[in-house]
Each structure stands twice: as C-alpha cells, then as structure tokens.
Structure 1
Amino acid sequence: MFSDLSTPRDDSSLLCRPTEDLAPVFERASPAYSPCFERFGVGERSFSRQYAHIYAARLMQMRPLLTEKAEQKWGSDVLVRKLCDLQAGEQCCIVGTLFKRMDLQPSILKEISEEHNLLPQPPRVKYISDTDELILEDELQRIKLEGKINRDRCVTGSVIAVYGAERNDGKFTVEDFCTADLPAQSVRPALDSDRFVLLVSGLGLGSSHADSMLGLQLLVDMVTGQLGDQGEQSGAATISRVLMAGNLLSQSTQDKDGSTKAKYLTKKTQAGSVEAIRLLDELLFQLVTSVPVDVMPGQYDPTNYTLPQQPLHRCMFPLSSVYPTLQLASNPYQATVDGVKFLGTSGQNVSDIVRYSSMNSHLEILEETLRLRHLAPTAPDTLGCYPFYMKDPFILEECPHVYFSGNAPTFESKRLTGADGQEILLVTVPTFHSTQTACLVNLRTLECEPISFTAFSAGDDDESEMNISH
C-alpha cells in the first residue's frame, strides 16, 4: 500500500541534523498510457432529432445480449417473445426497456407555475412513491409489469429480460428477471512494482469558503514531492498519474445574475468562473511539471451540460496547456494505464439514480450500472444527454478493471468478481471540497486507499491540528 511506501525513515527525518551529502533523486514511474475518449466524442452537433432514436438503438444493441443471458438462466428452450406476439397465459420471456411512471417526477409545469399561478412542486431528495408503475416497452408496444420485481430499485431506461406470463387483464406477471450482467474483460498484465493513480474530484474552486485551499495545496505538494521527508518523497514518486474527476469549479460560479442585470450594474466586474479557472490553471501548472494529469469536466465546469461532456478547452489554461503532460479528457472517461482499463464519470449518472430509485449507496449504484451494462440508464429521461442516432455510446462493450464515480459524499471501494473471472475495483471518489480526501489506486494489486488532508477552518477549536493521513 502507499502508506507503507511513504513510511518515514530513521535517517531522513526532518528533525535530523542536516548532512552535506546530496539528497537522493527519486525517478517518477512513467506508465504506458492510451486514451480512449473517441467513443464519447459528439462530432456533428445536431439537436434536431428525437430522443426515441437513442432508446431504439439501445434496445437493438442490448437485445442479443439479453436473449443469450435469458437462455443461460431459464434454459435454451425458453420462448422469447415480442410484445405483439404475447398470448395470455403463455410462459415466455420478453426483452425490453423499462419505463417508470412516477407521479412525483418533476415536470415542465414547475417551470411555468409562476406564469399561470400554479402551486409549484416542492423540492425533494427522492421522487419515488407507492403509486409508481413499471412498464416494459419494445419497438411497437408496452405492457405493465407486476410480480417479483423490485419497483423502487428500477429506473427508466434499463434494458432487462423478464420471465412470466400475461394475465387476462393485460398485465404481465413477472416470475423472474435478469440483466445483461458483466461484459467480457481483457487480461490485466502483471506489474513488477507498485504504481499508483491518484483520483480526486470536487475541488470546488471559486467558492466563498477558502478552508479547502490549504488541504488542496497540501495535496499538490504531496504529489510533486515537496512535502515530507525522503520517505514521503519516495512514496510520491510511485504516483504515476493524477485524474481529476469533475466539479473543479464550485456551484457558486454558476450564478447567472450577471447575464440578466443591466450592463451599468455589472461594469468592471467579472464572472466568478474566470477567477476560478485562473486558480485551477495555477494548480495544474504545479502538477503537470511533475506528473501527467487527466482533467475531466463536471456538472459545474465550463463545457456542455449534456452527457457526454466534451473536454475543457485548452485556451482556458495558458500556463499548464503548454505541457504535454496535461490531458483534457471527456466525461465519461476511458483510458488504459499500464494495461489497467479505467472507466468512470464525474458522478451525474449516479446522483440521478439516487433521486429516482430507493438506492442510496453510490457504490451499490456503480455495481448496478455495471450489471446493466450501461453507464447512464436514466439518460435522456431525467439526465441530460446528446440525441445519438445510430448507437448508444454509454453501453459497456468491455469490462473495465477500475470503475469509478466522482463527487460522492464519502469514499468507498469494493472488489467485484464476475461469473467469468472478471475482477473489477469499484471506487466512489469523495468531493474534496467537503471531505479533504482523495484516493490512490494501486495498478499492481488493484487495491485502493483514501488519503485525507485536514486543516484549520473557521469552525475548528484553537487546539485543532493539521494532519495528513493515509
């Protein structure tokens, strides 16, 4: 683990008497790196198409996978029917897309309530209720589902296979169901030494609270080897890459009052995001001179809002963009580091599922999306998404080795083993602005550990201490 590599040495303590010997030089590991962002590129940007096309493409891509899984689970002689071919009382399997009818789901009426003097809907943490209904639909028809399926855990957009029979009242009684489950995984190469990738998200630059800036600078100094003694520096040299998973800017930088105010009221003022981007460029400049850095956009960052979010523009980083070690990535993110395949998002897909299902754990939702073989099943229903036409890029065609989600409330990790021998590390990367915590992934062992920075803040007692813990 990283904490073992960075253990202080007896002869290199900062309290030891200085010597005239030259300090050792630690060479940072240089892993092989291959970005795979092309599949999330938008290309021609046309919003004239309907969103029905992406659902049709999703079902067309997933149907062969679900049919194969259904035959494995319920026997090769199971009847796989389309909705138009259903017969009442016949035991069969149906492959389709779930639609969850929810009374509490926000609607356009909330936005126009002020114009028509309607009572606005109150903001909610969860939009599920006892009156929700599950409906399965294919290209031509839809049918209501009842029976052995957990309605509250399901979300709109999931493609599943259900087994049961249609009743005389036109409803389908589910006896069992299955998902596409984990896709195939490539073999992870064996490494001869420990190498780490540091994951951090939610820097929250530009907020009115500057408490996290000391912890953020400590993180930068730790990665660049300017913090601690020789033990800490040798450990920092094993960090081969840094990945920033979205929400680099604070939500407070999204204030739109400046665009609606009169020009004379905003004279000689600038948007809060301008100063935040300048600060981000300075932090990146410190990092990219020492280690390769991947930067993903998030919900509050200056790029397109709909998924997939395109990389931030290099012109916003005049200091750091001149270095080849800066890699501006998309959200979702996909890359291979020393043969280890990373896949993840900045957290919008997981947070949306939290609102529209009974699941609360971000780690549980990560596993659920992996078994559904889809990064963002709720897009485009409740999550902004580009209207793809021929193919759904969010379908998982290959199983990653590390699957992460940024901007989670807490750090969690889990080793998941598939039926075909797949080994996946699931990681929820906490919001650094509120938790002062990042995490380190060991490429050799696929283990993950948090690294926390605590510092003085306005609400702390006078006896509070600054601490760095692994």
Structure 2
Amino acid sequence: MFSDLSAQKEGSSLLCRPASEDQGPVFERMSLAYSPCSEHYRVGERSFSRQYAHIYAARLMQMRPLLTERAQQKWGSDVLIRKLCDLQTGEQCCIVGTLFKRMELQPSILREISEEHNLMPQPARVKYISESDELILEDELQRIKLDGKIDRDKCVTGSVIAVYGAERNDGKFTVEDFCTADLPLQSARPALSSDRFVLLASGLGLGSIHADSMLGLQLLVDMVTGQLGDQGEQSGAATISRVLLAGNLLSQNTQDKDATSKPKYLTKKTQAGSVEAIRLLDELLLQLVASVPVDVMPGQYDPTNYTIPQQPLHRCMFPLSAVYPTLKLASNPYQANIDGVRFLGTSGQNVCDIQRYSSMDSHLEILEETLRLRHLAPTAPDTLGCYPFYQKDPFILEECPHVYFSGNAPTFESKLIKGANGQEVLLVTIPDFSSTQTACLVNLRTLECEPVSFSAFSADDDEESEMNISH
C-alpha cells in the first residue's frame, strides 16, 4: 500500500549525493471528485419546544417497512406480523417495535435530587448494565416485556428490531429469534486505475497540558505536505488526495466549566483556553489546506453545539485557513462521495455512548452493530444529546457507505464486511491522535486501510528511544 509507494528508490536516499544542482522532481498531488452529502444533518431553524417522542415515532414509522421485509425474508413470506394490540396468547407471530432497556444503574437527575438520594451521590461507572436490566419492546400504542433468545446486555434503547415468538400467560413475550434491518443497498464503487488515499485523523487534542503530541502532529502535517522524507516518501505523500479530521480537535482541558459560575470581574482579564487552541488549529490547518483539501468535523470538546448532529465550526474562527477553498467545514455525522467512494462516519460520541450502556467493548464491534441496525445513533435521544427532529429521523441509513468510520477510538482497528446483496463496507476506528500518535490511510482503489504512526522520544521513555515514523 502506501508504504510500498514510499519505498526508497536507488539514488533517492537523503544520504546520497544529489544527482544535479536543480530543485529535483515535483510531484503533483492527485485531485479527486468530491461531493458533500451531509445536507440532511444541517439544522435550519432550531426549535426545542417539541417533545422527543416524535423522533421515536418517526423512526419506527420509517423502519417498519424495512423490518417487515427482512422478517418475511428470514421467517417466510407467510409469517404473521402483529401489532402489540392484536397479540393473542400462545400464537406464533412477529412483532416490529422499538427496544427500551430499563436499567437500574442508568444515571437519572430525578434520582439524584430525590429526598432519599440527595446525600448519596452516584458513583462514577464505566458501564451501566446489571443483572436486573429488563428489555421492553414498544410500538405506537403498547409495550411488552421480552424474554428468551435475545442478548439483553448487548441491546440498547432505541434500536428498532423484529422479534419472532409468542406471548405467554404471564404477559411476557418469549423471543425465539430476532432480526435487524441489516445493510441498506449500496451503489457500485468505481474501478480506479491507481492508488489514491484519504488520510483520517481524530483527537488532535490541541490545548492539552501535555505538549508531547505536538511533535507527532507536526510530523503528520509535514508528511502530508511533502516536507518529510526523501523522494520516495514525497511521491507517496502526493497520493494522499484528501485529509479528514474527525472531531476533538481541541483537548478536554480547554473546557473551563467554572467560567460560567465565576463573577465577571474575576474573568475580565482572562482568556478561555479554547481561544489559544483554536489559533493553533488555524495555523496547522493553514499548512495543510495550502497543499491538500481538508474536511474538518467537530467533536465533543470543540466549540459548536453539544447535541448531534453537530453543526460545522464557524469560518470566522479560522481567519488564516478559511480563505482557502480547500478547507471544508463539515458536520458531525459526516457523509460525502470522494471519487465515487461513499464515506460516512462520526466523531465517536454515538459509539462511546453505546459502549457505556451495553456489554460491547470493541468500538469496531459497535460500529458493525449500528450498521446492522441501519441506524447511526440508536441511543439518541435517550442517553445521547440529540436535536428533537419531528417528521423524519436523519440518522437512519438510507444508502450503504463504502467506508464507515468512527473517531476518537482507543486503538486503530479496521474490518471489511460484506452484506447479503453484495455490499462491501470498510469499517475503521480512528485512534485518538493525542494519545496514540496514529492516523489512518484508506486506499480508495482497494478499500484497504493501514495506520500511520508517529512516535518520538519523551521523558518517560528510555534514553535510547528515538524518533520513529512507520506505516
């Protein structure tokens, strides 16, 4: 892949005598056709006066035909599909509904302010699942408890599924099997004649109290812009046709929670930590956009709205780089066609939220599960902040992507999965760059992915440690 392209050629080493006194070869960067597809994630006139029940109703209404078709494919075209109000005890049938998981450990503001708990703060937990959790399936009118062959801990609230089984005398529904909407249809991927790469990075963490990651970040910028390495490395860098930064550009340390509660006279001559971090980000982007198109997504700690879909960062924050047409400020979630390859992904809030409320630990496994559910963020708006959409749920996947990614993961992972109708999807978890010094390269021709790591010596390492760039 990219490492093969950047292999040293004879006479191209930095230790060799220059072939001539001229400047050397100039490598032209490949330009790709690009069309953004994130319009339905843009929120126009914002109104929070509506109830969140509307988004669940719209989600079920949109996905019921899909689940009905999948149920007939799996259990036969003559399978009985009932609504909860039409259930008969002991009758084998299929129900399509929205899962709700009642969790005893789920944080609740009502529990925190209640009289019997106001002196007992809830302990911080990594996961909120327990043995006492209950699965409930609900439709527009009723709900019923589920039991049987369904993994309670793996399920999350908000998932629309079809279950097959029968109602017992005690009022519970015994599940014999269940199915999800699975992958949507996928448009054909064009056959490319040469290797072209998109570089994915997330979690730059600017404004952190630790400055160690800045060297790796500058090495990354220098590699992409062709300032690093010999002719072999530069020719390889020229095949990087686009850079995508997937959220958390700023560090969590820039979130000054005490600023809103302090008196104004105490903050008169102080400056928010995010101001300096945004200025540094603008300078880094300036180096990139002068050489390659860059898409910038917001994340959890970036200066934009908290609820998803997060809107693009404002151009006024980037006075240096915003004048370049190669800077594209995108939303979170992000969707675009790059040379015919459809990219879809988030900055990772949806994956981290599912990880807390289910037994799944691997970000790659959660990424595949959301693709099988055909929904980007099933836990929104229950435990994940979300805009109260009214008539349509924009997080339902209407077309299958070719590359499906999630940012700010603890480690790099990738996997190529195939659907029943010939779909091929590359799943990528982009590691947090500030802690791992690792980015990803996606080959548009082959749908392969590999990490690019930048490691440097630090005070915590041995004295014999040395700088290393590997891909």
Question: For residue 36 of structure 1, what is the aligned residue in structure 2?
Answer: 37
Letter paired with 1:304:
N
Question: For residue 391 of structure 1, what is the aligned residue in structure 2?
Answer: 392
Q: Which structure 2 residues correspond to residues 203-242 of structure 1 after superposition, within 5 A?
A: 203-242=204-243
- Structure 1 length as normaliser, TM-score? 0.99
Q: 1:294 to 1:262 in 2, by over 3 A?
A: same
- How far apart, in 2, do the equivalents of 1:13 and 1:264 lie? 60
Question: For residue 418 of structure 2, what is the aligned residue in structure 1?
Answer: 417
Question: For residue 13 of structure 2, what is the aligned residue in structure 1?
Answer: 13
1:113: how far off?
7.1
Question: For residue 130 of structure 1, what is the aligned residue in structure 2?
Answer: 131
Question: For residue 253 of structure 1, what is the aligned residue in structure 2?
Answer: 254
- How far apart, in 2, do the equivalents of 1:456 and 1:22 lie? 32
C-alpha contact (below 8 Å) 1:110/1:121 kept by paired residues: no
Letter paired with 1:359:
M
Cα offsets for 1:381-439 (capped at 9, x unmatched) = 00000000000000000000000000000000000011110000000000000000000
- How far apart, in 1, do the equivalents of 2:123 and 2:184 lie? 40
Where 2:430 maps in the other structure, the secondary structure is strand
Q: 1:113 to 1:83 in 2, by over 3 A?
A: closer
Question: For residue 462 of structure 2, what is the aligned residue in structure 1?
Answer: 461
Cα offsets for 1:332-367 (capped at 9, x unmatched) = 000000000000000000000000000000000010
- How far apart, in 1, do the equivalents of 2:111 and 2:224 lie? 46
Letter paired with 2:247:
G
Where 1:260 maps in the other structure, the secondary structure is coil
Question: For residue 88 of structure 1, what is the aligned residue in structure 2?
Answer: 89
Question: For residue 403 of structure 1, what is the aligned residue in structure 2?
Answer: 404
Question: For residue 339 of structure 1, what is the aligned residue in structure 2?
Answer: 340
- Structure 2 length as normaliser, TM-score? 0.98
Q: How many residues end up aligned between the 2 structures?
A: 470
Where 1:350 maps in the other structure, the secondary structure is helix
Cα offsets for 1:66-113 (capped at 9, x unmatched) = 000000100111000000000000000000000000000000046547
Cα offsets for 1:246-282 (capped at 9, x unmatched) = 0000001111222222233323210000000000000
Letter paired with 1:231:
G
Letter paired with 2:449:
C
- How far apart, in 2, do the equivalents of 1:218 and 1:83 lie? 59
Cα offsets for 1:233-255 (capped at 9, x unmatched) = 00000000000000000001111
Q: Which structure 2 residues correspond to residues 252-291 of structure 1 after superposition, within 5 A?
A: 252-291=253-292
Cα offsets for 1:140-159 (capped at 9, x unmatched) = 00000000000000000000
Where 2:3 maps in the other structure, the secondary structure is helix
Q: 1:276 to 1:99 in 2, by over 3 A?
A: same
Unaligned runs of 5+ in 1: none
C-alpha contact (below 8 Å) 1:56/1:139 kept by paired residues: yes
Letter paired with 2:375:
H
Where 1:56 maps in the other structure, the secondary structure is helix
- How far apart, in 1, do the equivalents of 2:345 and 2:297 lie? 10
Cα offsets for 1:171-201 (capped at 9, x unmatched) = 0000000000000000000000000000000
Letter paired with 1:205:
L
Q: 1:358 to 1:79 in 2, by over 3 A?
A: same
C-alpha contact (below 8 Å) 2:103/2:128 kept by paired residues: yes
Q: 1:466 to 1:111 in 2, by over 3 A?
A: farther
Letter paired with 1:333:
Y
> Which moved further from structure 2: 114-123 or 334-343?
114-123
- How far apart, in 2, do the equivalents of 1:388 and 1:55 lie? 9
Q: Which structure 2 residues correspond to residues 431-442 of structure 1 after superposition, within 5 A?
A: 431-442=432-443
1:328: how far off?
0.1
1:319: how far off?
0.2
C-alpha contact (below 8 Å) 1:166/1:173 kept by paired residues: yes
Over the matched positions of the two proteins, sequence identity in percent amounts to 87
Letter paired with 2:209:
S
- How far apart, in 2, do the equivalents of 1:114 and 1:404 lie? 44
Where 2:425 maps in the other structure, the secondary structure is strand
Q: Which structure 2 residues correspond to residues 296-307 of structure 1 after superposition, within 5 A?
A: 296-307=297-308
- How far apart, in 2, do the equivalents of 1:281 and 1:189 lie? 35
Question: For residue 71 of structure 2, what is the aligned residue in structure 1?
Answer: 70
- How far apart, in 2, do the equivalents of 1:21 and 1:309 lie? 49
Where 2:72 maps in the other structure, the secondary structure is helix
1:118: how far off?
2.4
- How far apart, in 2, do the equivalents of 1:351 and 1:182 lie? 22
Where 1:336 maps in the other structure, the secondary structure is strand
Q: 1:116 to 1:263 in 2, by over 3 A?
A: farther
Question: For residue 2 of structure 2, what is the aligned residue in structure 1?
Answer: 2
1:11: how far off?
0.8
Where 2:11 maps in the other structure, the secondary structure is helix
Q: Does 1:140 align with 2:159?
A: no
1:22: how far off?
3.7
C-alpha contact (below 8 Å) 2:27/2:238 kept by paired residues: yes
1:461: how far off?
2.1
Where 1:149 maps in the other structure, the secondary structure is coil
Where 1:57 maps in the other structure, the secondary structure is helix
C-alpha contact (below 8 Å) 1:243/1:294 kept by paired residues: yes
Letter paired with 1:86:
L
Letter paired with 1:7:
A
C-alpha contact (below 8 Å) 2:137/2:143 kept by paired residues: yes
1:116: how far off?
7.3
Letter paired with 2:3:
S
- How far apart, in 2, do the equivalents of 1:457 and 1:47 lie? 48
Question: For residue 26 of structure 1, what is the aligned residue in structure 2?
Answer: 27
C-alpha contact (below 8 Å) 1:99/1:155 kept by paired residues: yes
C-alpha contact (below 8 Å) 2:112/2:122 kept by paired residues: no
Question: For residue 121 of structure 1, what is the aligned residue in structure 2?
Answer: 122
Unaligned runs of 5+ in 2: none
C-alpha contact (below 8 Å) 1:95/1:162 kept by paired residues: yes
> Which moved further from structure 2: 456-465 or 261-270?
261-270
Q: 1:438 to 1:113 in 2, by over 3 A?
A: farther
